Amino acid sequence: MEMRLHDVPFQQIKDGIKTVEMRLNDEKRQKLKVGNYIDFVHTQDDTNRVKAKVVALHYYSTFKALLSGNLFDKCGCNGYTVESAAECMYQYYAPEQERLYGVVGIEIELVSGNQI
């Protein structure tokens, strides 16, 4: 599976700072299983990629609920509060989508030699 990321979250994953990617639990993410691989692709440069293995999937009804637990520090949200980090996700997803699908925290580990 491929997922596109903007510069900051991409770099955080690449540097091992961000180990949980937050996404809407839509049809695409519902197919994810522990053990699958994700190719994270920089939105501005398709050749800049990082490969990671899914080690856990954490399901919540809202981004705020996901961030309120023990995953906050793994989501690359330094400098944010739970509320402001959850609000940032609405740049990408409408609250109606969140209510319809719920959210998933995709816990990953980088694959050795992760540049692909």
Q: Is the alpha carbon torsion for 35, 36, 39, 43 positive or negative?
A: negative
Which of 13, 105, 18 lies closest to 51, judged by CA?
13
Judged on CB neighbours under 10 Å (0-12, 13-18, 19+), 99 is: exposed
Please name which of 76, 74, 42, 68 lies closest in space to residue 55, comparing C-alpha atoms. Answer: 74
Instruction: For residue 67, give the H/E element and its range.
Output: helix 63-68
Give residue 70's identity as a one-letter amino acid code: N
Q: Which of 48, 38, 66 is nearest to 10 (CA)?
A: 48
pLDDT at residue 112, as a whole number: 76
| Phi, then psi, of 7 in degrees rounded to 5 | -55, -55
Q: What is the pTM of this model?
A: 0.93
> Within 10 Å of residue 111's Cβ, how many Cβ atoms?
15
Task: Please determine, for residue 114, whether its predicted confidence score (pLDDT) is greater than 60.
Answer: no
What does the pLDDT average to over 14-19? 96
Residue-wise pLDDT tens digits, 21-58: 999 999 999 999 999 999 999 999 999 999 999 999 99
Average pLDDT, stretch 50-67?
97
